[in-house]
């Protein structure tokens, strides 16, 4: 029995039990048999959730790109590693073989070195979904530089905050990007961001949309001529198992974004192993994940996990709606996609368009359908199952987080019987716990509470860049000796898990993780605003949308409220990005507060969700009268 590829339900239980009984031995075997090491570890795992400190495969030496590229060259150098499908269906797709990808990564790595980047330096990547994005990520890993990819939908302010937080020396961007029928001036955004950053010496610019852009002398360089001149091979930097591989920012309930730090060996082992099993990837398959590499899903399941398995991974530059809402299905037909991994918000948006567009295309290549990023509602699940999978491709509803690095709770297709809206069972090696509010574990089935993980897994983030205390406070201090996920979950009568949603002030909008605090900070910058509070409310496509309660400094002010709403959303777009715009804005005379002055978001959430019969006792508030006023003026 190979523990690397699970094919039957009974086998899942056997391997799961083994992975729990002796995690060190289990992961050691997986690591030993399926990866290339320059030096073996001296110790598989040491951990202490109190400090917290977690180390996997201590003292081992490796380079992740040797595992993702070099080792495939001999047996399958001509196999397609990346299929690039451009924004426009009129532009030809590119097929980049493992050999070509290896060369491109090596050239890029040499360009990085020639521009002063070395091991441990931070490089910010702000690119659209073009091959240079995957290549630059791998080029950083080749030389041991730490990549920090920032999703190219974030604003200049959001970008500069992230560049400064991790003190990046270089930014890699493009002259612009295509997004459906629109083009976006990415380089202009980078220029604005860099007004606020002193740490960046070099900006490498890929050409994509061929517009005239401003190139700052001594700082900005066109990428292509440098790549053309660079040497085609690059000896990989030998990294320690626990050397940081990348930083990826995620929202917190308060304060600035958290730069989650992932390290090399454990991340590689876990993303590769989950990829193989969760997608049941077979050698000739074409796999497509629709996420952007700017999010963790793209890091783990477009780049590292698939490439470590020698898979063919498709990168799509555009949006689901361009040139029409049949684009995803057209791509599946065109490239004969076997595994398709997307987000519930995309499924809901496409379901709205009716089934005609799906039926137009031949989707018979599909074997596995994936869902990630937010809870998938029953209706979307069935639509996906009936119309895309034709009831023959299992849906894997995979729960995980930026912090977990890889998929944590998920069915294994053709192995685990699925159940709509349930992420089902923990993946191999994962030990979930459901906790009550007093910090006690709820054992047995048919329980609901807060989701924690009891034991480390190889790809858990090791710290928050520059703020280990915050890492400890956020994830390891709420429940003793446990990693706290921030999510609620229930376990049903057979032990299946269902994720019920965030239990903190993070709101998932269209699968994007948004913290309320930075949005409120942006709103409060408006000179007319005194105070604000953001909550989520259900939305039929986005899952959740944002509802803002805003108190103006001068409540009797005669300003046009519609204009104010526009200005406020513009501010949010400028400070964070369009993904954080508010769907509803209600101007209020005050916000409900506790006697200690804390805003009662729970009450505001109930009002926004139209559940005013469940407000509970409001009489102990500092200002109970505002609740009535807010209810009578809901938008
Ligand atoms: O609330 C959970 C939700 O997304 C959060 C993590 O967001 P992020 O770090 O951006 O990573 C998203 C992609 C891995 C989780 O805390 N979430 C993710 N997947 C699911 C989910 N909620 C329910 N079901 C899922 N399958």
Identify the pLDDT of residue 620. Answer: 83
Q: Is 61 exposed, middle or buried (0-12, 13-18, 19+ CB in 10 A)?
A: middle
Q: What are phi and psi of 422, to 5 degrees?
A: -110, 130
Closest CA to 409 of 392, 395, 427: 427
CA–centroid distance, residue 448 to ligand 1 (Å):
18
- For the stretch 492-536, pLDDT in tens is 999 999 999 999 889 999 999 998 988 999 999 999 999 999 999
Percent of the chain beyond pLDDT 70? 99
Identify the pLDDT of residue 303. Answer: 98
Q: How far apart are CA 306 and CA 268, in angstroms?
A: 11
> Quick one: pLDDT band at residue 556, thresholds 50, 70, 90?
low
The ipTM (two decimal places) reads: 0.99
Closest CA to 231 of 92, 71, 107: 107
Dihedral of the alpha carbons of 46, 48, 51, 56, in degrees to the nearest 10: 30
Q: Is 558 a residue whose pLDDT tops 80?
A: no
Identify the pLDDT of residue 485. Answer: 97
- Distance from the first to the final alpha carbon of the chain: 60
- For the stretch 446-455, pLDDT in tens is 999 999 999 9
Closest CA to 41 of 53, 17, 24, 19: 24
Identify the pLDDT of residue 555. Answer: 67
> Quick one: pLDDT band at residue 615, thresholds 50, 70, 90?
confident
49, 455 Cβ separation under 8 angstroms: no
Q: Is the CB of 380 under 6 A from ligand 1?
A: no
> Quick one: pLDDT band at residue 619, thresholds 50, 70, 90?
confident
- The first and second tokens of residue 36, run together, are 């290339």
Q: Is the CB of 375 under 6 A from ligand 1?
A: yes
Q: Is the CB of 508 under 6 A from ligand 1?
A: yes
- For the stretch 564-607, pLDDT in tens is 999 999 999 999 999 999 999 999 999 999 888 889 998 999 99
CA–centroid distance, residue 634 to ligand 1 (Å):
29
Identify the pLDDT of residue 629. Answer: 93
Q: Is 492 exposed, middle or buried (0-12, 13-18, 19+ CB in 10 A)?
A: middle
- For the stretch 129-156, pLDDT in tens is 999 999 999 999 999 999 999 999 999 9
CA–centroid distance, residue 93 to ligand 1 (Å):
31
Q: How far apart are CA 488 and CA 485, in angstroms?
A: 8
Q: What are phi and psi of 250, to 5 degrees?
A: -135, 155
Per DSSP, the three-state class of 97 is strand
Dihedral of the alpha carbons of 504, 505, 506, 508, in degrees to the nearest 10: 100
Identify the pLDDT of residue 109. Answer: 99
Give the other-Cβ count within 10 Å of 194's Cβ: 20
Q: What are phi and psi of 557, to 5 degrees?
A: -60, 140
pLDDT averaged over every residue in the chain: 96
DSSP string of 501-527, one letter each residue: EESSSEEEETTEEEEHHHHHHHHHTST
CA–centroid distance, residue 402 to ligand 1 (Å):
8
Q: How far apart are CA 511 and CA 508, in angstroms?
A: 5
- For the stretch 446-494, pLDDT in tens is 999 999 999 999 999 999 999 999 999 999 999 999 999 999 999 999 9
35, 63 Cβ separation under 8 angstroms: no
Q: Whose CA is nearest to atom 21 of ligand 1?
A: 374
Q: Is the CB of 510 under 6 A from ligand 1?
A: no
Q: Whose CA is nearest to atom 6 of ligand 1?
A: 401
Q: Is the CB of 342 under 6 A from ligand 1?
A: no
Which whole-number Å values give the CA distances from 477 to 93, 451, 515, in the listed order? 48, 14, 20
Q: Is 1 a residue whose pLDDT tops 60?
A: no
Q: Is the CB of 487 under 6 A from ligand 1?
A: yes
Q: How far apart are CA 585 and CA 589, in angstroms?
A: 13
Q: How far apart are CA 3 and CA 25, in angstroms?
A: 12
CA–centroid distance, residue 373 to ligand 1 (Å):
4
Identify the pLDDT of residue 616. Answer: 83
């Amino acid at each position: 029995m190979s523990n690397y590829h699970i094919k039957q339900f009974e086998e899942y239980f056997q391997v799961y039990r083994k992975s729990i009984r002796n995690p060190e031995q289990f992961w050691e075997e997986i690591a030993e048999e399926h990866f290339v090491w320059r030096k073996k570890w001296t110790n598989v795992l040491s951990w202490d959730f109190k400090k917290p400190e977690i180390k996997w495969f201590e003292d081992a030496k490796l380079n992740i790109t040797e595992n993702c590229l070099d080792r495939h060259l001999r047996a399958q150098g001509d196999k397609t590693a990346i299929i690039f499908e451009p924004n426009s269906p009129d532009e030809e797709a590119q097929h980049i073989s493992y050999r070509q990808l290896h060369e491109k990564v090596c050239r890029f790595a040499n360009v990085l070195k020639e521009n002063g980047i070395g091991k441990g330096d931070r490089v910010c990547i702000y690119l659209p979904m073009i091959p240079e994005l995957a290549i630059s990520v791998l080029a950083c890993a080749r030389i041991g530089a730490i990549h920090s990819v920032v999703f190219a939908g974030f604003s200049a302010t959001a970008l500069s905050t992230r560049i400064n937080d991790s003190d990046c020396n270089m930014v890699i961007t493009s002259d612009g990007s295509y997004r459906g029928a629109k083009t976006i001036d990415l380089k202009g955004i980078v220029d604005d961001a860099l007004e606020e950053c002193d740490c960046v010496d070099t900006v490498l610019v890929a050409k994509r949309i061929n517009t005239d852009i401003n190139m700052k002398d001594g700082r900005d360089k066109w990428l292509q001529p440098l790549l053309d001149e660079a040497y085609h091979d690059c000896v990989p930097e030998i990294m320690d198992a626990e050397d940081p591989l990348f930083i990826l920012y995620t929202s917190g309930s308060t304060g600035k974004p958290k730069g989650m730090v992932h390290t090399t060996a454990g991340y590689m082992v876990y993303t590769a192993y989950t990829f193989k099993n969760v997608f049941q990837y077979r050698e000739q398959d074409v796999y497509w994940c629709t996420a952007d590499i700017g999010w963790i899903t793209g890091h783990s399941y477009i780049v590292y996990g698939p490439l470590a398995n020698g898979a063919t991974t498709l990168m799509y530059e555009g949006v689901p709606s361009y040139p029409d809402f049949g684009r995803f299905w057209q791509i599946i037909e065109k490239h004969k996609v076997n595994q398709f991994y997307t987000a519930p918000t995309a499924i809901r948006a496409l379901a709205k368009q009716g089934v005609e567009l799906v039926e137009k295309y031949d989707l018979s290549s599909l074997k596995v359908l994936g869902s990630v990023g937010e809870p998938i509602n029953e209706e979307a699940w069935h639509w996906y199952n009936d119309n895309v999978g034709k009831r023959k491709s299992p849906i894997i509803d995979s729960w995980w987080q930026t912090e977990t690095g890889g998929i944590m709770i998920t069915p294994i297709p053709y192995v685990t019987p699925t159940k709509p809206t349930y992420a089902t069972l923990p993946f191999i090696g994962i030990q979930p716990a459901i906790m009550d509010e007093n910090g006690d574990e709820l054992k047995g089935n048919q329980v609901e509470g807060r989701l924690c993980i009891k034991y480390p897994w190889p790809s858990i983030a090791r710290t928050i860049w520059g703020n280990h205390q915050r890492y400890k406070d956020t994830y390891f201090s709420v429940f003793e000796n446990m990693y706290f996920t921030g999510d609620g979950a229930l376990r049903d009568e057979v032990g299946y898990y269902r994720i019920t949603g965030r239990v903190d002030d993070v709101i998932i909008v269209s699968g994007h993780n948004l913290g309320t605090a930075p949005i409120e900070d942006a709103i409060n910058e408006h000179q007319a605003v005194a105070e604000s509070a953001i909550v989520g409310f259900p939305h039929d496509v986005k899952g959740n949308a944002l509802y803002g309660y805003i108190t103006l400094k001068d409540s009797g002010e005669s300003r046009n409220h519609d204009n104010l709403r526009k200005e406020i959303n513009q501010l949010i777009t400028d400070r964070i990005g369009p993904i954080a715009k508010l769907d509803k804005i209600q101007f209020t005379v005050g916000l409900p507060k506790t006697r200690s002055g804390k805003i009662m978001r729970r009450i505001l959430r109930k009002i926004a969700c139209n559940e005013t019969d469940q407000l509970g006792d409001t009489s102990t508030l500092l200002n109970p009268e505002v609740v009535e006023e807010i209810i009578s003026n809901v938008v």
